[in-house]
Amino acid sequence: MIPVCRLEDLPEGESVRVETTPPVAVFHTEEGELYAVDDTCTHQDASLSQGWLEGRQVECPLHAASFDLRTGQPTCLPARRPVRTHRVTVEDGVVHVHLTVAEGTAAWARSTPVVPSAPQAHSPSAAEGTRTA
Ligand code: FES
């Protein structure tokens, strides 16, 4: 379980890149759900955390492939392979990622939307991830 940032430091519609190996992108959708996938596009070397979030999909900033954040599956070319998904939890106002160990999208690790509860008190020094969006 890897702490990412405080929930209030990841507003809806934004994403954050977590410098794990490999890097992970965490998304907070406009609908208030949290998802995490591998940050590197499966087509070439682009950071999905710098892509465009639309609903539960992210569009790669380099060649515009889209991925479903719930499953990691590409929804259009040129990407053909899925990105791994990772479970996200919020504990005491801190977003955590639970990294998927195996390749692929094991059922237990598919992104489950986390709908955060009431906002927590702001802590300006709590960000632990690298914000890119
Ligand atoms: S690098 Fe993502 S679509 Fe090409």
For the stretch 43-96, pLDDT in tens is 999 999 999 999 999 999 999 999 999 999 999 999 999 999 999 999 999 999
What are the structural domain ranges in the chain?
A: 2-131
112 band by pLDDT with thresholds 50, 70 and 90: low
Rounded Cα distance between 32 and 94, Å, is 15
Strands 130-131 and 14-18: antiparallel
CA of 83 to the centre of ligand 1 (A): 12
CA of 47 to the centre of ligand 1 (A): 9
pTM: 0.79
CB neighbour list of residue 46: distance below 8 Å, 6 or more residues apart: 40, 60, 61, 62, 63
Rounded Cα distance between 5 and 91, Å, is 11
Give the CATH number of domain 2-131; options: 2.102.10.10, 2.40.70.10, 3.40.710.10, 2.60.450.10: 2.102.10.10
Residue 107: is its pLDDT beyond 50? no
Ligand 1 nearest-atom number relative to CA 45: 1
